[in-house]
Amino acid sequence: MSFIATKTSLNRRAFLKGTGATVALPFLSAMTPAFAKTAAAPKRFVAMNAGLGFHAPNFIPTEAGANYKAPVYLKKLAAHRKDFTVFSGLSHPNSNGANGHTSELTWLTSAPRPGLAGFKNTISLDQLMARHIGAATRFPSMTIGARGSSLSWTANGVQIPVQMHPAKIFRQLFVDGTEQEVAEELKNLERGRSILDTVLDDAKLLSISLGARDREKLDEYFTSVRELEIRLQQNKEWAKRPKPKVDYKEPQDVADRNDILAKQRLMNDLTLLALQTDSTRVIAYSLGGMNAVPSNIPGVRTDWHMLSHHGRDEQKIEELTRIEAAEFAVFSEFLTKLKGVKEAGGHLLDHTAILFGSNLGNASSHSWRNLPILLAGGGYKHGHHAAHDPENNTPFANLFVPLAQRMGVEIDQFGSSTASTIQGLES
């Protein structure tokens, strides 16, 4: 029987029930309005940041436009040249913080002077998206990392912990708890809500005796509590539903902590599975780096962090290039896998915008200007180098605004942005 033929559509969260079993359905064409020409796949967003930077001459083409000559790293992405746009001449204003590496804290926020006295971060792009669309999925967002710190920050400037253990991430995504574990989870969620109710009642009584500024702060607190209450209720509903089943063996954490490529491949696979099963639509992913020699990369004998501070030493740059070229090869594998998942008349990459780059334009000098940035997928027209002024950089956050709008967030400004569009982003 055809669901389309009967002028009906399946609920996006439809389940099969029978003989005591309940199984969640995958994303089906019938889960769109009747007579729709094509199933509307959800839009997704993935941000991937390399905290030790990328050697810019190997990343950024010297020519602008579509006919650029691919540098070393982009040659690794040759099969996907029409699937991404390279941006240069972008940066966050006032990112001169405690040291160069603190700019990683604000890569997705654009807040000024990271790590200095009085610094308070703002909401990250991924969390802004999650606040808008997160209720549609079991996990409003995921914050993961092969290594490195979290890229995600709440509206109150609180850093969201990064998850770095693939085995644990897999279990959270795809392994159902026992009946007892689910019951305990529901009990804890209900307990959390009752605590919030008590706190909110006390806060309302307190507000009577406060001045105008304090009442304003308390109103902000009330808003946060209400959002949390809504999320707790959503969590209760998700806790009752079975998790999706995937044809993927439960992974083990990579035994060699210096095998960064194996870790990245595993995290890439989990990212793909999370998106494919619609477990989440927003992921912030820290590629990281390390103060050690990466394993299983031929010709590399020197500490990675030390190599990033190469001081134009040719031998150090040669070793650094081996590491970073290997990262791009792994990224190419990831794009290939995304394109291999067919949906809604296209593939998963068509519906997933991937922001890939670094918070450091020149890691050797800790420079946060002229960031190496690449945007892949997402349904945009790609295949070119959007070259912005290397002296008078365009705010990186100008790219954030249309990315958020593409996810349905109705904004015309974000952080340090000065415009709601950016040259080189073509729909």
For 133-163, what is each residue's pLDDT tens digit? 988 898 899 999 987 789 999 998 989 999 9
Full residue range of the structural domain in which residue 83 is found? 41-173+250-406
Regarding whether 83 and 24 lie in a shared domain, the answer is no
In a domain, 278, yes or no: yes
In a domain, 413, yes or no: no
In a domain, 423, yes or no: no
Regarding whether 117 and 52 lie in a shared domain, the answer is yes
Regarding whether 296 and 233 lie in a shared domain, the answer is no
- Between strands 44-49 and 21-24, the pairing is unpaired
In a domain, 419, yes or no: no
Regarding whether 268 and 308 lie in a shared domain, the answer is yes
Regarding whether 275 and 152 lie in a shared domain, the answer is yes
In a domain, 335, yes or no: yes
Regarding whether 45 and 158 lie in a shared domain, the answer is yes
DSSP 159-222: BPPPB--HHHHHHHHH-PPPHHHHHHHHHHHHHHHHHHHHHHHHHHHHHTT--HHHHHHHHHHH
Regarding whether 343 and 304 lie in a shared domain, the answer is yes
**In b/e form, how buried is each residue of 397-421, taking b as 16+ CB within 10 angstroms?**
bbbbbbbbebbebeeeebbbbeeee
Regarding whether 308 and 221 lie in a shared domain, the answer is no
In a domain, 417, yes or no: no
Spatial separation of the C-alpha atoms in residues 280 and 121, rounded to whole Å: 24
Regarding whether 157 and 8 lie in a shared domain, the answer is no
Regarding whether 90 and 46 lie in a shared domain, the answer is yes
Residues with Cβ within 8 Å of 366's Cβ and at least 6 positions away in sequence, in order, are 99, 100, 101, 360
pTM passes above 0.75: yes
For 28-64, what is each residue's pLDDT tens digit? 444 444 334 455 899 999 999 999 999 999 999 999 9
Domain at 143, CATH number: 3.40.720
Eight-class DSSP state of 10: -
In a domain, 412, yes or no: no
Regarding whether 64 and 26 lie in a shared domain, the answer is no
In a domain, 425, yes or no: no
Q: Is 266 left (phi over 0), alpha (psi -120 to 50) or beta?
A: alpha
Q: Using the structure block, give the residue that is written with the tokens 């990369």.
A: 297
Regarding whether 291 and 235 lie in a shared domain, the answer is no
Spatial separation of the C-alpha atoms in residues 350 and 381, rounded to whole Å: 10
Spatial separation of the C-alpha atoms in residues 349 and 142, rounded to whole Å: 18
Would you write out the chain's pLDDT as a tens digit for each of its 427 residues? 222 233 334 454 444 443 333 334 444 444 444 334 455 899 999 999 999 999 999 999 999 999 999 999 999 999 999 999 999 999 999 988 878 789 999 999 999 999 899 899 999 999 999 999 988 898 899 999 987 789 999 998 989 999 999 988 887 787 665 666 556 655 655 665 555 566 666 666 666 667 777 766 666 666 665 565 555 556 555 556 677 888 888 888 999 999 999 999 999 999 999 999 999 999 999 997 888 999 999 999 999 999 999 999 999 999 999 999 999 999 999 999 999 999 988 999 999 999 999 999 998 888 899 999 999 999 999 999 999 999 999 999 999 999 999 999 999 999 999 999 999 999 8
Residues with Cβ within 8 Å of 37's Cβ and at least 6 positions away in sequence, in order, are none
Q: What is the domain count for the chain? A: 3
